[in-house]
Each structure stands twice: as C-alpha cells, then as structure tokens.
C-alpha cells in the first residue's frame, strides 16, 4: 500500500467539505460553475469509494484483515480520533456516492434552482454521511450526525413553501431533541467507561459490574433511542413519511439513505459492543429491536395501504424497509446479516430511484401540489437565475419520446423492487433474510413467524398501493399532454435502477461480499485489534 | 455542589420537557434550549466534579493526573454548546418562516378546532 493510498480513507470527508466551502465563494448566479464543481466532486467521491471497496475486497479475500485505520493527526488509537474503513464502511461509502452522484445529476435539470446554495448543502450532506460511516468514535459519530442533519434541514427547506416549512419545523425540533438524547447517552457511557472510542469501549464494557452496569445500560438505551428515532422505528418514527414527502425529490432521494444511517450506527455499535454470547452483553436489547421492528413493519404496511399520495407511499416504504432491517438484526441470527446488508443496499437504491421517479410521474397533474417551486421566504442575495441568461436552456433539453412508456416501465420496476417480487434484487434480499431466519433452527419462535408473515404481507401491501397509484397516474386517460421528460432526469433514475439490476445479475458475488461483511461484523476481536494496534506513521513514534 | 448541580440539571430538564410539549413554536424553541443547557451541564458532570483543578497538563516532568480535571468532557461540552446554539438559531429562522407562511405560531401550522 503506497503512502497516498493510506490517505484515501480521509478523502471522502475532506473532499466534499472543501468543495462545498469553495462553492460558497461563488455568486449564486454562477450556476454552471457550481454544478460542474459538485458533479466532479461527486464523481471523484464515487471513484474513491470504489477504490476503497476494491482495496477491501483485495485485502479481505486474500486472508488479511480488511480493516484499515486512519489516525487523524497521528495520535495513537484510543486517545486520538480514528477513521476506520472496513467491509461495512466501504460498502456504505459506495452506496452514498452512487446515490449522491445520481441525485445531484437529477437535481441539475430543475431543482437546484428552487432555492439558494443547494449544491453546497448537498455536498455537506454527503460529507456528513461519509464521516458517520467512517468514524470509529462515538462522539465523532455525534458530530457527523449533526453535520448531516444540519445539511438535511437546509435540503428539506430547499424550495420553501408552507408545506416544507411546517414539516421542517417538526423535523428540526424532533432531531434536535434526538441529538440531546444522543449526548445524554454519550455522557453516561463516558462517565462510566472513560472512553468513547468504540474499540476501546468493546474491551472495557464486558467487565462492568454493579451500579456502573446499570448506568452504562441506561446510557446505551438512551443512545439506542436516538438511533432508532433516526431510523424511523415505531413509535418514534411518525415524523418520517410526512417529512420525506415534503422534500424536493433529489433531497428525498438522499433522505432515503439518511434513515439508514440510524441502522448503520445500530449495526456498528450494537454488534461491536453487544455481540458475543457471554454475559449481559450477549442479548442486550435484542427483543426491543425485534418487536420494535415488527411493529414498524406493521405500521408501515397499514400506512402504505392508507396513503393517498405517491410520496406518502414512498415514505411508508422507507418505514417498512427500516422495520425489516431492525427486526432482522433483533432476531439475532448471525447468518442473517448478509441478507440484512443486501436488503439495506437494494431497498435504499430502490427507494432513492422511487423518490426521483415519482415526481416525474406526478408532474402531469402537479399544478397545486407541494412539489411546485414557490417563492423563497427570505430574499437574501438569492435572485434566481439571471433573466434571459440561463432560462433558455431549460426549454431546449432533449425530450424523450414515448414518455409514458419510459415512466411506466421505470415505475413498474421500482414497484417490483420495493415489493420484493422475483426476479429483482428486492426478492433476493427478502429471500435471503427469510431463509436465514427459518433455516437450520430447531424450533422457530412465534415472533419469527409473525415477522416472516408481515414481511411478505408488507410486500403485498406495497404492490397494491403502487399499482393503484400507477394505474391512476399513468393509465388514466387525460386531456393534458404527457409531461416533458428531460434526459438529465431520466438518466439518473435509469442508472439507479441499473445498479439494482446489477445487484440482481451479480447476486452471487454481491451476496458473498455481504456475507463476508456480516462475518466481519461478528469478528469483534479483529476490529478491536486493528484499531487499538494501528501503527503510527511518524518516525519518532516508532520508538 | 453536587446537590446544586443535580437540582439545576433536574429543573432545567423538567422545564424543558414541559415546554417542548406546549403547542406554541416559541415555547418549543425555549424548551429545547433549556434541555440543551441541562444536557451540557450533565456532560460536564460526567467528567466528575472538581474544584481548583486545571484540565491541562503542564510541561514539568512529574505530572500527577489525580491533581487534574478530566479535559475530555470539557471539550465535548464546548462542541455540544456550539452545535446546539447553531441549531437553535436555525430553528428560530424556521419558526419565523412558519409564522409568516401559515399566519399562526401553532406548531402544526393551524389552530386546534
């Protein structure tokens, strides 16, 4: 590994931060320059993420430890800040980069003009996500959570309008509250253990006893609530469908990934600290995840059937996806982690594509909906596009023929993907989950049966809801001409769906990667050793 | 000192929780601010309460760590203060926008019937 390859780990955090800082120097009218910078940055991020993933695969499948540690400022591990790139982190980085790049491309057709500083906020959002996936430290996890949340507040309010501001008020208030819970949890954990480095925590926690144990467990419980709130678990996830429905489509596409950050944090913290089968850490909070997840899937299923707009349907699909992941993690079968991760990737990509697509589908009768661009509330320096300058460009764009056929095809693809019907990747993911839950168990719990039935039922509900909406929006004869579909909007959606198709076609190798990731998550000692014995770079540190 | 601090955190939290459950946006913002004060004090207390102890180790050779306060919670509190301050400012802006767009200061944007 060459020297600069080591620094590749920190690039997904630094690069978008620098790019978004540069962006603030440009006048709001220099749209083209800003768009170019953000697209180039996101493309480089995708390349970096893929390089890191390739590194993981090369290291991991050749028998070495795939966990690479980056010591910021070269401080030794439990004292300094560490970034950790391992199987799970690199997978999430790639997922972030793919969704970020295509959502941004989509936004360039129209949505970046709905308000000021869209590109800068978007890149900050990506930076927060990347940071949260890379950090190996609880407090830095908090800081990156705040960065991605702060950017998401801006993105949610992008485009303004009463609907967005009302949803934004709830969203900001709820998330500020959740951040305070996060801090309380972090405080309790620090008070008991004296460290916040996750690897260090994993070595200290099993030996906690007595009163300290009670404090530590309450600390993790409070922390867990903060994670679950972000993941949208019932009963703390009521904010989710409404908020996501109010956001502009490219922002909503990234938000679909945002709710998975809670799941990621849970996977990372929970499996590292409470894996194993010994002592109290073996089954801490398991049944909460299982029953909470089951309730979430049930809530999402009812919601999907009751939703009357397509964006609400998508919101409840996010809820169902979160619930499925939570319940499967809670069911606690180590073998199901591969399926969990496959489902996470497949459903996130599907949901992002769905959010991008549904605005195109709904555009035909979108006069009075939320999606319309409204005048900004605060008229600061933002003056929209320069008159007569770039407006022309909007009219030109290549208009795709047979719009309805393309939209309908994409819509049907998304619906099948989300409902989990064969042969698409959603089916493979659900099959992997159910297979690992049922297979090889001497007796199957009643709760597992309930969950499996709900998992299949939720797919049916999604199918009913999407076909109802699809018939209504696409097939119902209308006097209006079909909406103009621009290439810049169709291509990103198509690319996202193509990635899903790739997941299906290359299901074998992908599943092998996911299974390996699941194993690495259970290999706690490997992670602990890699982080705590990470070598320092400077010559004098060698002594 | 412990009693005073514990009471302070408790009163801040109780008032904060009551306020964020109120229907007016400004009350919610105030409630979140009070809660963030409580959380900051709490974080600070998690490094154990010490009086007259410096958090920074000097350069002299013999350092007795027992004579020093834990610097980490102080750094954490500083970060937390900055973040919650920024978020409160943002929330105030959203509050004003909501008031302007909906014409009411109810958190749901419409008065209860």
A-B interface: how many C-beta pairs under 8 angstroms? 96
Cβ contacts of A143 on chain B, cutoff 8 Å: 79, 83
Q: What is the mean pLDDT of chain A?
A: 84
Q: Per the CB < 8 Å rule, is B97 touching A160?
A: yes
| Predicted local confidence at residue A100, as pLDDT | 93
pLDDT tens readout for residues B44-85: 888 888 888 877 777 766 677 777 888 888 889 999 999 989
| Predicted local confidence at residue A4, as pLDDT | 73
What does the longest C-alpha to C-alpha distance in chain B come to? Answer: 71
Q: HSE (CB half, 13 Å, CA atoms) of A508?
A: 0
Q: Are A121 and A155 in contact (CB under 8 A)?
A: yes
Q: Are A22 and A376 in contact (CB under 8 A)?
A: no
| Predicted local confidence at residue A400, as pLDDT | 60
| Predicted local confidence at residue A407, as pLDDT | 83
Average the pLDDT over B22-43 and give the result. 93
Where residue A389 falls among pLDDT bands split at 50, 70, 90?
A: very low
* Cα distance between residue A172 and residue A152, in whole Å: 9
* Cα distance between residue A168 and residue A243, in whole Å: 7
**In 3-state terms, what secondary structure has residue A137?**
strand
Distance from CA of A213 to the nearest CA of B (A): 15
Residue of A nearest to B32 (CA): A177
Cis amide bond preceding B31, omega within 30: no
Q: Please determine, for residue A480, whether its predicted confidence score (pLDDT) is greater than 50.
A: yes
C-alpha dist (Å) from residue A64 to A76, A458, B23, B86: 22, 41, 57, 44
C-alpha dist (Å) from residue A45 to A12, A86, A117, A494, B55: 6, 17, 20, 20, 40
| Predicted local confidence at residue A394, as pLDDT | 46
Cβ contacts of A222 on chain B, cutoff 8 Å: none
Q: What's the count of helices (H) and strands (E) in chain A, helices before strands?
A: 21, 2
The domains found in chain B, sorted by start residue, are: 2-49+69-102 (1.10.287)
Cβ contacts of B45 on chain A, cutoff 8 Å: 191
C-alpha dist (Å) from residue A313 to A295, A355, A380, A464: 18, 10, 35, 11
- Confidence check on the interface: ipTM exceeds 0.90, yes or no: yes
Residue of B nearest to A142 (CA): B80
Dihedral over Cα of B71, A81, A173, A235: its sign = negative
Contacts of B60 (CB under 8 A, 6+ apart): none
Q: Exposed e or buried b for every residue in A124-149, given b needs 16+ CB within 10 A?
A: bbbbbbbbbbbbbbbbbbbbbbbbbb
The length of chain A is 543
| CA A316 and chain centroid, separation | 15
| Predicted local confidence at residue A114, as pLDDT | 76
Distance from CA of B25 to the nearest CA of A (A): 9
Q: Is B25 on the interface with A (CB under 8 A)?
A: yes
| Predicted local confidence at residue B3, as pLDDT | 92
Q: A199: closest CA among A92, A356, A368, A76?
A: A76
**In 3-state terms, what secondary structure has residue A82?**
strand
Residue of A nearest to B35 (CA): A180
Q: Is B93 on the interface with A (CB under 8 A)?
A: yes
Q: Per the CB < 8 Å rule, is B94 touching A172?
A: yes
* Cα distance between residue A520 and residue A517, in whole Å: 5
Q: Is B57 on the interface with A (CB under 8 A)?
A: no
Torsion angle in degrees (nearest 10) through CA of A108, A111, A114, A119: -50
Q: Is B17 on the interface with A (CB under 8 A)?
A: no
Which of B42, B84, B98 minimises the CB distance to A187? Answer: B42
Distance from CA of A171 to the nearest CA of B (A): 10
The length of chain B is 113
Q: Is A32 on the interface with B (CB under 8 A)?
A: no
Q: Please determine, for residue A67, whether its predicted confidence score (pLDDT) is greater than 90.
A: no
Of B34 and A446, the one with more pLDDT:
B34
Distance from CA of B56 to the nearest CA of A (A): 15
Bridge partners (DSSP) listed for residue B106:
B24
Distance from CA of A202 to the nearest CA of B (A): 19
For B1-113, where are the alpha helices, taking DSSP H only? 2-20, 25-45, 71-102
Q: Is A176 on the interface with B (CB under 8 A)?
A: yes
Q: A156: closest CA among A237, A248, A238?
A: A248
Where residue A393 falls among pLDDT bands split at 50, 70, 90?
A: very low
- Per-domain residue ranges for chain A? 285-367+407-505
Where residue A122 falls among pLDDT bands split at 50, 70, 90?
A: very high
Mutation site for B-interface testing, chosen from A174, A191, A374 by largest number of B Cβ within 10 Å = A191
Q: Please determine, for residue B99, whether its predicted confidence score (pLDDT) is greater than 80.
A: yes
* Cα distance between residue A326 and residue A293, in whole Å: 5
Mutation site for A-interface testing, chosen from B39, B75, B111 by largest number of A Cβ within 10 Å = B39
Q: Per the CB < 8 Å rule, is B32 touching A177?
A: yes
* Cα distance between residue A90 and residue A192, in whole Å: 31
C-alpha dist (Å) from residue A504 to A131, A299, A342, A462, A513: 29, 28, 10, 20, 14
Average the pLDDT over B83-100 and give the result. 90
C-alpha dist (Å) from residue A133 to A138, A435, A485: 12, 28, 35
Which of A169, A191, A196 minimises the CB distance to B98? Answer: A169
Residues 353-372 of A with CB under 8 A from B: none
Average the pLDDT over A83-90 and give the result. 91
Bridge partners (DSSP) listed for residue A399:
A486
| Predicted local confidence at residue A369, as pLDDT | 44
Contacts of A538 (CB under 8 A, 6+ apart): A74
Q: Are A31 and A114 in contact (CB under 8 A)?
A: no
Q: What is the mean pLDDT of chain B?
A: 87
Quick count: other Cβ atoms within 10 Å of Cβ A21?
A: 12
Q: A165: closest CA among B55, B101, B86?
A: B101
Tokens representing A341 are: 């991760």
Q: A85: closest CA among A127, A112, A55?
A: A55
* Cα distance between residue A263 and residue A277, in whole Å: 22
Which of B46, B79, B90 minimises the CB distance to A190? Answer: B46
Q: A244: closest CA among A344, A152, A177?
A: A152
Residue of A nearest to B76 (CA): A139
Where residue A368 falls among pLDDT bands split at 50, 70, 90?
A: very low
Which of B42, B83, B90 minimises the CB distance to A172? Answer: B90
| Predicted local confidence at residue B49, as pLDDT | 83
Residue of B nearest to A171 (CA): B91
* Cα distance between residue A444 and residue A441, in whole Å: 6
Distance from CA of B88 to the nearest CA of A (A): 8
Q: Are A247 and A255 in contact (CB under 8 A)?
A: yes
Say which range, A130-134, A278-282, B4-8, B108-112, has the weakest mean pLDDT: A278-282
Q: Are A230 and A181 in contact (CB under 8 A)?
A: no
Distance from CA of B45 to the nearest CA of A (A): 8
* Cα distance between residue A494 and residue A297, in whole Å: 28
Quick count: other Cβ atoms within 10 Å of Cβ A383?
A: 13
Q: Per the CB < 8 Å rule, is B108 touching A166?
A: yes
Q: Per the CB < 8 Å rule, is B98 touching A160?
A: no
C-alpha dist (Å) from residue A418 to A462, A465, B74: 7, 11, 46
Cβ contacts of B107 on chain A, cutoff 8 Å: 169-170, 173
* Cα distance between residue A278 and residue A108, in whole Å: 53
Q: Is A191 on the interface with B (CB under 8 A)?
A: yes
Average the pLDDT over A462-474 and give the result. 86
| Predicted local confidence at residue A385, as pLDDT | 45
pLDDT tens readout for residues A188-230: 999 998 888 888 888 888 888 888 888 888 999 999 999 999 9
| Predicted local confidence at residue A95, as pLDDT | 94
| Predicted local confidence at residue A53, as pLDDT | 92
Q: Are A493 and A103 in contact (CB under 8 A)?
A: no
Distance from CA of B83 to the nearest CA of A (A): 7
Q: Please determine, for residue A187, whether its predicted confidence score (pLDDT) is greater than 60.
A: yes
pLDDT above 90 covers what percent of chain A?
Answer: 33
**In 3-state terms, what secondary structure has residue A109?**
coil
* Cα distance between residue B12 and residue B35, in whole Å: 6
* Cα distance between residue A86 and residue A92, in whole Å: 10
Q: Is B43 on the interface with A (CB under 8 A)?
A: yes
Where residue A61 falls among pLDDT bands split at 50, 70, 90?
A: confident
Q: Is B65 on the interface with A (CB under 8 A)?
A: no
**In 3-state terms, what secondary structure has residue A22?**
helix
Mutation site for A-interface testing, chosen from B24, B69, B97, B104 by largest number of A Cβ within 10 Å = B97
């Amino acid at each position: 590994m060459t020297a600069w390859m080591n620094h590749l780990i920190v690039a997904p955090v630094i690069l978008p931060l620098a790019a978004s800082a540069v962006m603030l120097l440009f006048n709001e009218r220099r749209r083209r320059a800003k768009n170019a910078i953000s697209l180039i940055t996101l493309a480089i991020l995708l390349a970096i993420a893929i390089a890191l993933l390739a590194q993981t695969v090369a290291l991991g499948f050749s028998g070495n430890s795939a966990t690479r540690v980056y010591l910021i400022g070269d401080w030794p591990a439990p004292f300094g800040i560490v970034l950790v790139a391992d199987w799970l982190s690199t997978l999430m980085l790639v997922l972030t980069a793919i969704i970020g790049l295509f959502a941004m491309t989509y936004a360039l057709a129209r949505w970046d003009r709905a308000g000021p500083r869209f590109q800068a906020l978007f890149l900050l959002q990506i930076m927060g996500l990347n940071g949260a996936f890379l950090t190996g430290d609880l407090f830095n996890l908090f800081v990156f959570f705040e960065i991605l949340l702060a950017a998401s507040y801006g993105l949610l309010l992008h485009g303004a309008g009463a609907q967005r501001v009302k949803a934004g008020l709830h969203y900001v208030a709820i998330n500020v509250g959740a951040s305070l819970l996060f801090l309380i949890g972090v405080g309790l954990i620090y008070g008991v253990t004296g460290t916040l480095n996750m690897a260090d925590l994993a070595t200290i926690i099993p030996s906690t006893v007595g009163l300290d144990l009670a404090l530590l467990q309450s600390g993790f419980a409070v922390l867990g609530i903060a994670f679950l709130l972000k993941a949208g678990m019932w009963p703390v996830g009521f904010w989710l469908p409404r908020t996501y429905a109010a956001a502009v489509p490219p922002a909503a596409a990234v938000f679909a990934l945002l709710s998975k950050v809670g799941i990621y944090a849970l996977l990372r913290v929970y499996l590292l600290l409470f894996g194993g089968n010994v002592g109290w850490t073996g089954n801490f909070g398991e049944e909460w995840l299982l029953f909470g997840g089951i309730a979430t899937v049930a809530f999402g299923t009812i919601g999907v059937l009751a939703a009357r707009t397509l964006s609400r349907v998508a919101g409840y699909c996010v809820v169902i996806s979160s619930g499925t992941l939570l319940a499967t993690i809670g069911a606690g079968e180590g073998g199901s982690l591969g399926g969990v991760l496959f489902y996470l990737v497949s459903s996130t990509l599907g949901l992002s594509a769905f959010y991008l697509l549904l605005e195109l589908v709904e555009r035909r009768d979108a006069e009075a909906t939320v999606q319309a661009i409204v005048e900004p509330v605060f008229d600061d320096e933002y003056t929209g596009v320069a008159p007569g300058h770039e407006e022309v460009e909007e009219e030109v764009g290549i208009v795709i023929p047979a719009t309805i056929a393309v939209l309908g095809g994409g819509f049907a693809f998304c619906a099948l993907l989300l409902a989990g019907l064969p042969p698409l990747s959603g089916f493979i993911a659900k099959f992997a989950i159910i297979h690992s839950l049922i297979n090889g168990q001497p007796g199957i719990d009643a709760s597992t049966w309930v969950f499996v039935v709900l998992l299949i039922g939720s797919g049916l509900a999604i199918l009913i809801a999407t076909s109802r909406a699809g018939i209504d929006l696409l097939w119902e004869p209308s006097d209006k001409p079909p909406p103009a579909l621009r290439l810049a909007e169709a291509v990103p959606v198509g690319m996202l769906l193509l990635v899903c198709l790739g997941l299906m076609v290359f299901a074998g190798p992908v599943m092998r990667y996911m299974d390996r990731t699941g194993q690495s998550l259970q290999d706690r000692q490997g992670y602990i050793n890699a982080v705590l014995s990470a070598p320092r770079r400077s010559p004098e540190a060698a002594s | 000192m412990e009693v005073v601090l514990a009471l302070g955190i408790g009163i801040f939290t109780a008032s904060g929780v009551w306020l964020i459950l109120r229907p007016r946006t400004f009350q919610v913002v105030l409630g979140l601010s009070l809660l963030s004060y409580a959380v900051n004090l709490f974080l600070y207390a998690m490094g154990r309460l010490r009086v007259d102890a410096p958090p920074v180790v000097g350069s002299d050779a013999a350092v007795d760590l027992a004579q020093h306060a834990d610097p980490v919670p102080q750094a954490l509190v500083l970060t937390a203060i900055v973040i919650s301050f920024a978020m409160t400012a943002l929330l105030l802006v959203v509050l004003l926008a909501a008031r302007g767009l909906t014409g009411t200061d109810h958190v749901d944007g419409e008065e209860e019937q």
